[in-house]
Structure 1
Amino acid sequence: MHMLARSELILGGQRSGKSRRAENLAIEWLAASPERQAVLVATAHVGDDEMQQRIVQHQLDRARRVPRLAAVEESLYLPAALKLHSTDNTLLIVDCLTLWLVNWLMPPPGVPAPAQGFHHTVEQLVHTLHGLPGPVVLVSNEIGLGVVPMGKEVRHYVDELGRLNQTMADACERLTLMVAGQALFVKGAPA
């Protein structure tokens, strides 16, 4: 059993095992006491049929693997959602910061762009993380290991995600990099 950090950022590429690690942490957390709860804060917004299918598959897989994991959706106002759902007996899992950033840069149709800026909200998120009564696991993609992308918008997104990941890595007690399903502890390795 791993010692759960107060806050952990799990980074990795697509299908690297990020969400599975977060689910395994939830399984361990829930097994320790019947009083404990775990809540997934899902940031994905259904933009097309393929994304809808991915979300449904994630929901089915998660329900099978971690039946006691509750889920809420929050595509923009993450600090408020964390404050609302955090208790000393509740593990929060945010899956994922990658899509949360997409929602800020390109708000879903019909959703007004938030009045406060993204960087202000990231500052709020860091402040919120340090004040929550219960543990938090953040999941994000590491997409900055490849070539410099073509297109101004894509480069802007990659740069913003890199900055977001750095900020969250600094704010979290533990940083875990997932590679082919294996956890590499970059910061705050469990004892």
Structure 2
Amino acid sequence: MTKFSKGFIRLPRTIMDWEWYDDVNTSKIMVHLLLKANFEKKSWRGVDIHPGQLITSYEKLSLQTGLSISKVRTAIDKLKSSNDVIIESTNKFTKIKVNQFFFDNKQNSKEITHQSQANSKQIATTNNEKEIEIIKKEFKEKVYALSNYKKHILDSFYAYWTEKNSQKGTLRFQNEKFWEIEKRIKKWASNEKSQTKDRMLDLNR
């Protein structure tokens, strides 16, 4: 994974009642589309992309999912036939709109509301903590991959930049507007060396 934070989508248990659930390729494509669809309005080369939509191609979907182009095309055709997706094709791109109504939870609405109110805080905290741990793990791998630096430098760099902001639920490095880990750690090591030199001068005085 190249990014530290990817967010998440919700899939209720009622997805198991969906007509394509036991169709492995079609289910895989649908989940992939849900993950790739925009969650906010964007513009791509002058084209408005609304929430629930994405710009893609059969070739791109094939590369991203590991399915052959023919299998991707077949899966998309099935989703189109059941109105689970709406396709807008041009000679330059394919825009896909994901209809998420089939994921609506069909359980008793009062029961859902009650459970949601009772557990929302706990669920949000659990998901956030799990995501933080994943982000920290990925960040640690990137830091300690820079093996040309001494371990104590990597340790101090990692400890400082993974300090958690309890109000935002983010790590320190995530709040930086610009971030290139190689440049940051090079500067960190340089500052460490300078501070060590200053301490040695003080001891010798």
Query: TM-score range, shorter-chain basis?
Result: under 0.3
Computing the radius of gyration from Cα coordinates, the structure with the larger value is: 2
TM-score, with structure 1 as normaliser: 0.24
Q: Which protein is richer in helix relative to its size?
A: 2
Structure with larger RCO (C-alpha < 8 A, sep 6+): 1
Q: Give the TM-score taking structure 2 as reference length.
A: 0.23
> Greater share of strand residues, 1 or 2?
1
